[in-house]
Amino acid sequence: MTDVTPKAAAPSLLHLDSSADGPVEAVTRQLTALFARTWRERHEAAGVRPAYRYRYRDLAAEPVPPLTAAYAALGRRAERNGARSPGEVAALAATADEEREWARTRPLIEEVREAGILLIGVPMYNFAVPAALKAWIDRVCFPGAFTDPDTGDSLLRGTRVVLALARGGGYGPGSPREDCDFQLPYLRALFGALGVDGKDLHAVTAEFTRAGDVPALAAFRDQAARSAERARARAVALAR
C-alpha cells in the first residue's frame, strides 16, 4: 500500500507569493490577495462545512532553502529507483544530511499534492521569475514527486494553476520584447512537464506596472491602467 496523498475533500487552495515588495507596492500580491479573498468568500457563502482548506506561503519572507549536494544525491538515488511515495523516499536517505533535506522538502511537495488550486504571485525580475520562487520550484520538483508510483500518472492532473503575473514593461504578443519573456513560457513548460493540463493553467497578467514611476515608461500609463483593470477582472472571474 503506497501513501499517495489524496486531494482534499473540501476545496483546497495553496497560495504562494514571491515578490520582494510588500502588499502596497507588489501588484502580484494585490492580485493573489484579490483571487484568494474572492475564492474564500464564494465558498463561505455556500454554507458548507468545511467550506474550504486554505494554506499560504510567503516565499520572500520565509525563503525555501536552496538545494544542497545531499538533496541532489537523494534525488539521483530516487530517480534510479523509480517513482516512490514520500514515505519510501524517506527510506532511501543514506545520510543525516539527506534525511534533513527530505524533511525540508516533503511538506512542500505534500502541500502541492493536496491542493486543488495552486495560486502563485510571480513578478518578472530580469525577464524571468524571482529567485525565491525558483528555489521553491527546484525543491518541490524532486524526481517522481508528482507521479503515482502505482500507475505512472501525474498526481497534478486536475489541479488548477493560477499565475498572477506582473511585468514592469510590455512583453505581450507582438511587442518588441516578446522574445524576452522567460516568465510565462517557463512556467507553462514547467507545469506542463509536471502533468498539469494546459486548460487548467491560467495567467492573470498586469503589464507596464512601472509606468507610474519610471519616466521612460510614462507614455504607457493609460495602457498600464487598462492592463491592471483587466487583470483584476480576470482574477475575480477565475476565483468565482
pLDDT band at residue 160 under the 50/70/90 scheme: very high
- pLDDT value at 4 more than 50: no
pLDDT band at residue 182 under the 50/70/90 scheme: very high
- Please report whether residue 176 resides in a domain: yes
Query: For 183-221, b where at least 16 C-beta lie within 10 A, e where not — what string?
Result: bbebbbeebeebbbeeebbbbbbbbbbbbeeeeebeebe
Supply the DSSP symbol for 15. Answer: E
- Give the contacts of 174 (CB within 8 A, at least 6 positions apart): none
175 is in an annotated binding site: no
- Please report whether residue 58 resides in a domain: yes
- Please report whether residue 2 resides in a domain: no
* 231, 32 contact by CB (below 8 A): no
- Please report whether residue 187 resides in a domain: yes
What are the cell numbers at 226?
487598462
Please give the residue range of the domain that contains residue 61.
Answer: 12-239
81 is in an annotated binding site: no
- Please report whether residue 5 resides in a domain: no
Tens of pLDDT, residue by residue over 198-218, are: 999 999 999 999 999 999 999
Tens of pLDDT, residue by residue over 85-112, are: 888 999 999 999 999 999 999 999 999 9
- Give the contacts of 108 (CB within 8 A, at least 6 positions apart): 64, 136, 139, 140
- pLDDT value at 9 more than 80: no
Number of domain units in the chain? 1
- pLDDT value at 64 more than 60: yes
124 is in an annotated binding site: yes
* 21, 133 contact by CB (below 8 A): no
Distances (CA, A) of 168 to 151, 175, 186: 43, 14, 18
pLDDT band at residue 223 under the 50/70/90 scheme: very high
Number of Cα atoms under 13 Å in the Cβ half of residue 120: 26
125 is in an annotated binding site: yes
- Please report whether residue 1 resides in a domain: no
208 is in an annotated binding site: no
pLDDT band at residue 34 under the 50/70/90 scheme: very high
Task: Return the CATH number at 230.
Answer: 3.40.50.360
- Predicted TM-score of the model (pTM): 0.94
